[in-house]
Amino acid sequence: MRLNDRLGFALSSLTAHKLRTGLTLLGMAVGIAAVISLTALAEGARLYVMNEFLDLGTHLAVVLPGKVETTGAMPWGGVVRDLTLKDFELMDQRLEGKARAAPIVLGTEAVSHGSRSRSMAVIGTTAEYLPIRRITMASGRFLAPSETGGAEIVLGPAAAREVFGIENPLGRTVRMGGWRFRVVGILEPKGRAGGFDMDDLAFIPVATAMKVFNRASLFRIIVEVRPDTPMTVMKGRLEKFFKDLHRAEDVTVVSPDAMLASFSSIMRTLTLALAGIAAISLVVAGLGIMNIMLVSVAERREEVGLLKALGGEGRQVLEVFLAEAVLLSAAGGVAGLAAGLVAVRVFVRFYPSFPATPPGWAVAAALALSFLVGTLAGILPAMRAARLDPIRALARR
């Protein structure tokens, strides 16, 4: 038998039972489509979070107030001491290895001008925040370097449009609660970065923000680390500085590297879970193929007997049935791959900010798995067909 004859023999069996073949293809396609879709979502989540960290800056250390410790057999929350503006000023003067640092106070308030008003996130900080976060100005300037308690405000482009419409905001006055601020700058459009919509927020001096929001403590402190200073060294210096200052370990220092490591651990777990789901779905599909092939061998005993009686070898019979199983699984794999890619495209159309895309290894693995499952599921039926005795098979005619 030539290769074309073997493939024709296998295809004739598949096309002779269209419904059975279609249902078997569907089982394989669903498993492969699930693998493609889920890995695309996982990859999209990874890329989204990595982009957020890149926007935040990869060489930043963030100081948060509070540290929870566990002692003995029961967990106890450590005493939390506020991070004050004085703490920041001392750290800014004494800490070695930093390039820049900026305090942050965060709140939400309505900003109004005339009859127009807009509720927005307001960040109290200093002039160093601009280069740390790599923000650019569309017009005007950022907060003055020496100003921590003045009445200046910088608006994002969307916030400026909402409050001023088509008017030029620079030099105008806005109200925030019982306070009046003069607009000194407008940011360039940036979109979301570091968890904030940078186009729809406002910046005011940090000391003023603490008064406006009636805060005694800072939300956090961000420190840009010099390239020649390892992040682990800077984290140790920050922890030691605040431990000596407060006489207690009451701050938490985190970095994008540490958060990325935690996220990578989560993604590894998720990937293992996806592999388990894929394995179950593909095993079920493989059992379906094996069942179909066993039925096919039983139905075609006479054909196999005639083939062997005419001189066909057992190896050739095995190859025919094995080709049938591989064709069945491969077609299901290709259909599932196409369905998964379409599903991902539809998802991205509805959520364009989420970069869902199946990784190359997932596409290659899906196709390889479809061939592997077909091969493994077809071996037993093909071997049974190859061992058929032609006389007994033809005696049933």
- With beta carbons less than 8 A apart as the criterion, state whether 263 and 46 touch: yes
Pair 332, 232 in one domain: no
Rounded alpha-carbon distances, angstroms, from residue 168 to 183, 345, 352: 10, 41, 32
Task: Output the average pLDDT for the chain.
Answer: 80
* Residue 253 forms part of a structural domain: no
pLDDT in tens, 92-145: 999 988 899 999 999 999 999 988 999 999 999 999 999 988 889 999 999 988
Q: Copy the structure tokens of residue 291.
A: 């069942």
Distance, in Å, from the CA atom of 24 to the CA atom of 285, rounded to the nearest integer, reads 7
- Same domain? 86 vs 234: yes
Question: Could you tell me which residue, 102 or 284, shows the higher pLDDT?
Answer: 102
Going 92 to 97 to 102 to 106, the CA torsion angle's sign is negative
> What is the per-residue pLDDT across 164-218, written as a single tens digit (0 to 9) for each?
988 899 999 999 988 999 999 999 988 776 667 888 999 999 999 999 999 889 9
For residues 91 and 125, state if they share a domain.
yes
- What phi, psi does 188 have (nearest 5°)? -70, 145
In terms of domains, do 350 and 235 share one?
no
Q: How far is it, in rounded angstroms, from Cα 323 to Cα 357?
A: 32
Q: Decide which of 198, 219, 247 is a domain's last residue.
A: 247
pLDDT number for residue 207:
92
93 and 119 co-located in one domain: yes
Q: Which of 190, 221, 247 is the last residue of a domain?
A: 247
What are the structure tokens assigned to 30, written together? 């669903």
Percent of the chain, pLDDT > 70?
78
In the DSSP assignment, the letter for residue 216 is S
Residue 241 lies in a domain: yes
Q: Are residues 293 and 360 in the same domain?
A: yes
Q: What DSSP element (H or E) covers 203?
A: strand 201-205
For residue 279, the model assigns a pLDDT of: 67
Based on the fold, state whether residues 242 and 287 are members of the same structural domain: no
Per mean pLDDT, which range of 112-126, 214-228, 313-327 is the poorest? Answer: 313-327
pLDDT band at 74 (very low <50, low <70, confident <90, very high): very low
In a domain, 134, yes or no: yes
Query: Torsion over CA of 133, 238, 124 and 228, rounded to 10 degrees?
Result: -20
Do 279 and 318 lie in one domain? The reply is yes
Contact (Cβ atoms closer than 8 angstroms) between residue 221 and residue 94: no
| 363 to 27, 253, 293, 328, 343: CA distances (angstroms) | 18, 39, 27, 18, 14
Residue 70 included in any domain: no
Phi, psi of 111 (to 5 degrees): -110, 125
Residue 381 lies in a domain: yes
b or e along 163-178 (b: 16 or more beta carbons within 10 Å of the residue's beta carbon)? bbeeeebbebebebee
Let me know if residue 147 belongs to a domain: yes
- pLDDT category at 327 given cuts 50, 70, 90 is confident
**Per-residue pLDDT at 70:** 38
* 65 falls within a domain: no
In a domain, 350, yes or no: yes
Task: Round to whole Å and give the CA distance between 112 and 175.
Answer: 5
Q: Are residues 322 and 183 in the same domain?
A: no
Residues 325 and 385 in one domain: yes
Query: What does the alpha-carbon distance between residue 360 and residue 363 come to, in Å, rounded to a whole number?
Result: 5
Do 18 and 141 lie in a common domain? no
How many domains does one find in the chain? 2
- For 194, other C-beta atoms within 10 Å of its C-beta total 15
Range of the domain at 391: 3-53+260-395
Closest to 368 (Cα-Cα) out of 66, 32, 96: 32
What integer is the mean pLDDT of 307-333?
71
Distance CA 100, CA 95 (A): 10
Domain boundary among 219, 247, 275: 247
Q: How does pLDDT run across 344-389, given as a tens digit for each residue?
A: 999 888 888 788 888 887 788 878 878 888 788 777 776 766 666 5
Instruction: Say what the pLDDT of residue 76 is.
Output: 41
- Position 71 scores a pLDDT of 40
CA angle 140, 145, 148 (to 5 degrees): 105
User: What is the pTM (predicted TM-score) of this model?
Assistant: 0.62
Residues 94 and 242 grouped into a single domain = yes
Residue 218: phi and psi, rounded to 5, are -85, 150
